[in-house]
């Protein structure tokens, strides 16, 4: 009988709050950091690096406040450096700040590269070795779990392997619980990383970890290669945020280890299904637009556009999907565009809840309508609201909720220097006509206000609706101000959001088309919900 070998347990270490916060245009408030820590703990991360208490008051306050946050399993880590050469460890302000946080785990980094020792620290190589060992030993005497980050280790090893190895031997002799090999400059390739890890593992018995950066687009690959070579501790950030090109992305590393390689982590299947939500949450907290094309968790990660692809996925998802998207909390999406086939429209109709047969001629009508409109500048991939209205009109034709008889928009610069925008509109609802006017802080806002002012007495649910995003794209830059434009608008009623599209050579007309779709979509969905 063939013996089953149990894969090693790999610990997950998140440094979003420290290394991730060093990314350009990212600044977490104290409250942000506390919320993110709680969310990472809920997800199931083993270690959460909270910051560097010796570097700024906000990080010190974080460690004070996190004590009052009930965490389920994560260990909060305080981060710092080995003692400064002019101090004994017991007197070093940085190490004293680490102890003052009260965390049971501390992470310190030290210099591995002789270049940094002589040029940056400007001390002797032996002095650096003594400071590494003494710093780790001091923290162990204070009953702390000590994770030692060997900064620039891979570059150091290729420059001077004997000295690089001497630095981590010093950490091991000091009693480090885990030695993390850092690929700090992010330029090494997977075969280089795995080779070095294998060499280190033969000479060091202390458990090894990997901390990779992404400057050569190899942060995830290098982390996986390091685990295959023997590392049992992986550091990274959610969404790969971090200094320069970022850190290794835990959102890709975690499912690769758990779903593809069979490594054990402390995450359950239920935890893994929260991965996409975690990714989106961190993006929001960092005030970043989520990366739709991010592997595993991006909105486009399991999106299918080509008709042949959609047809195949309907038969067997494995034909064009490397995992079941539900395993990481994501979902399959079918895109409808001029490249689509009838399979796309059929699958999309099913997802939207329509009971329709694949040979329904209305589907062909919708497909041809989509192709005609997209050739005129429309795009339905990001405008599900407008596409659903096309389906509704083809599959469930009914009398319109209202009819627009005409509208006018006036932009007027006043003597005060301000600009006054007014829209007037005439609509018919049933056998009644309404003629209203409304001001706005721009022509689109004025049109939106006027339309809803006319309709709210008939459809009070429109008071819930507000515009949440507005995008204009020029489709032919060579035409200058006379170019065709596409307008995408996002609406919300506080519970759901929907996106609609308009296209025209006149930006006001394109915006008007989208506004009409946005209002009609809300009325349609409200009626559909009531009829269930």
pLDDT tens-place string over residues 484-525: 888 999 999 988 889 899 999 899 999 999 999 999 999 988
Q: Which of 170, 169, 230 is nearest to 198 (CA)?
A: 230
d(CA 201, CA 160): 18
Rg for the chain, CA atoms, rounded: 29
Q: Which of 174, 46, 179, 20 is nearest to 104 (CA)?
A: 46
Q: Please say whether the beta carbons of 507 and 488 come within 8 A.
A: no
Task: Check residue 355 and give its pLDDT.
Answer: 82
Task: Check residue 1 and give its pLDDT.
Answer: 43
37-86: pLDDT as tens digits:
999 999 999 999 999 997 888 999 999 999 999 999 999 999 999 999 99
d(CA 399, CA 428): 12
Of the CA atoms within 13 Å of residue 400, those in its CB half-sphere come to 13
N-to-C CA span, the chain:
57
d(CA 2, CA 201): 27
Task: Check residue 345 and give its pLDDT.
Answer: 76
204-263: pLDDT as tens digits:
999 999 999 999 999 999 999 999 999 999 999 999 999 999 999 999 999 999 999 999
Examine the pLDDT at 332 and tell me if it is beyond 90: no
Q: Which residues of 96-120 are buried (b: 16+ CB within 10 A; e: fewer)?
A: bbbbebebebbbbbbbbbbebbeee
pLDDT bin (cut points 50, 70, 90) of residue 373 is: confident
Exposed / middle / buried, residue 210 (Cβ in 10 Å: 0-12, 13-18, 19+): buried
Task: Check residue 76 and give its pLDDT.
Answer: 98
Residue with tokens 């270490």: 13
> What length is written for the chain?
532
Residue with tokens 């990779």: 212
Looking at residue 480, the DSSP 8-state letter turns out to be: G
Q: Which of 80, 99, 68, 83 is nearest to 18 (CA)?
A: 80
The CATH architecture one would assign to domain 11-285 is: Alpha-Beta Barrel (3.20)
Q: Which of 263, 266, 219, 269 is nearest to 244 (CA)?
A: 219
> How much is the average pLDDT of 128-155?
98
- The strands making up 432-440's β-sheet, listed across from edge to edge, are 403-413, 419-429, 432-440
Residues 6+ apart with CB under 8 A from 285: 28, 32, 35, 36
Q: What is the number of other CB atoms lying within 10 angstroms of the CB of residue 266? A: 14
d(CA 245, CA 249): 11
d(CA 441, CA 166): 67
- 196 or 389, greater pLDDT: 196
Task: Check residue 158 and give its pLDDT.
Answer: 97
Of the CA atoms within 13 Å of residue 420, those in its CB half-sphere come to 9
**What pairing do the DSSP bridges indicate for beta strands 208-212 and 178-183?**
parallel
> How much is the average pLDDT of 174-188?
98
pTM: 0.73
Q: Which of 25, 144, 143 is nearest to 80 (CA)?
A: 144
User: What ranges do the domains of the chain cover?
Assistant: 11-285, 303-375
Range in 56-70, 84-98, 299-313, 447-461 the model is least confident about: 299-313
Task: Check residue 299 and give its pLDDT.
Answer: 84
Average pLDDT over the chain reads 90
CA distances from 243 to 15, 168, 284, 421 (A): 12, 25, 18, 44
Q: Please say whether the beta carbons of 283 and 336 come within 8 A.
A: no
Task: Check residue 481 and give its pLDDT.
Answer: 63
- 114 or 411, greater pLDDT: 114
Q: Please say whether the beta carbons of 503 and 476 come within 8 A.
A: no
């Amino acid at each position: 009988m063939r013996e089953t070998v149990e894969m090693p347990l790999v610990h997950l270490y998140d440094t979003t709050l420290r290394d991730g916060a060093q990314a350009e245009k990212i600044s977490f408030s104290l409250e942000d950091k506390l919320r993110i820590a709680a969310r990472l703990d809920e997800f199931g991360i083993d270690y959460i690096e909270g910051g560097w208490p010796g570097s700024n008051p906000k990080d010190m306050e974080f460690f004070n406040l996190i004590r009052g946050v009930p965490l389920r399993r994560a260990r909060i880590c305080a981060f710092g450096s080995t003692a400064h050469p002019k101090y004994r460890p017991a007197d070093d302000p940085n190490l004293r700040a680490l102890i003052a946080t009260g965390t049971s785990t501390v992470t310190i980094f030290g210099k591995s590269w002789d270049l940094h020792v002589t040029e940056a620290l400007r001390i002797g190589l032996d002095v650096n070795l003594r400071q590494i060992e003494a710093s780790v030993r001091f923290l162990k005497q204070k009953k702390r779990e000590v994770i030692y980050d060997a900064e620039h280790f891979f570059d150091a090893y290729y420059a001077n392997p004997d000295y690089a190895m001497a630095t981590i031997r010093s950490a091991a002799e000091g009693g480090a619980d885990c030695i993390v090999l850092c690929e700090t400059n992010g330029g090494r390739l997977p075969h280089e990383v795995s080779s070095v890890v294998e060499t280190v593992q033969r000479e060091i018995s202390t458990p090894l970890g990997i901390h990779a950066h992404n400057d050569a687009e190899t942060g995830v690959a290098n982390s996986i290669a390091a685990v295959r070579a023997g590392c049992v501790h992986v550091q990274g950030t959610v969404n790969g945020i971090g200094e320069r090109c970022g850190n290794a992305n835990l959102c890709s590393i975690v499912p690769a280890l758990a779903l593809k390689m069979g490594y054990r982590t402390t995450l359950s299947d239920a935890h893994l299904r929260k991965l996409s939500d975690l990714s989106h949450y961190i993006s929001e907290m960092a005030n970043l637009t989520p990366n739709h094309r991010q592997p595993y968790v991006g909105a486009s990660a399991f999106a299918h556009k080509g008709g042949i692809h959609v047809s195949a996925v309907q038969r067997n998802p494995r034909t064009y999907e490397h995992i079941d998207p539900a395993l990481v909390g994501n979902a399959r999406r079918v895109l409808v565009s001029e490249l689509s086939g009838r399979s796309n429209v059929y699958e999309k109709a099913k997802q939207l809840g329509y009971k329709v047969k694949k040979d329904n001629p209305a589907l062909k009508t919708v497909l041809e309508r989509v192709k005609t409109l997209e050739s005129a500048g429309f795009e339905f991939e990001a405008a599900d609201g407008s596409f659903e209205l096309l389906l509704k009109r083809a599959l469930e034709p009914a009398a319109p909720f209202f009819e627009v008889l005409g509208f006018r928009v006036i932009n007027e610069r006043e003597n005060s220097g301000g600009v006054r925008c007014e829209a007037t509109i005439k609509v018919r609802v049933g056998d009644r006509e309404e003629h209203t006017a409304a001001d706005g802080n721009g022509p689109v806002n004025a049109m939106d206000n006027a339309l809803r002012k006319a309709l709210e007495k008939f459809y009070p649910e429109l008071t819930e609706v507000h515009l949440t995003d507005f995008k204009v794209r020029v489709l032919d830059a060579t035409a200058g101000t006379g170019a065709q434009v596409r307008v995408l608008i996002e609406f919300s009623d506080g519970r759901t959001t929907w996106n609609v599209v308009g296209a025209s050579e006149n930006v006001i007309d394109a915006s008007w088309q989208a506004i009409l779709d946005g209002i009609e979509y809300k009325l349609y969905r409200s009626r559909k919900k009531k009829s269930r």
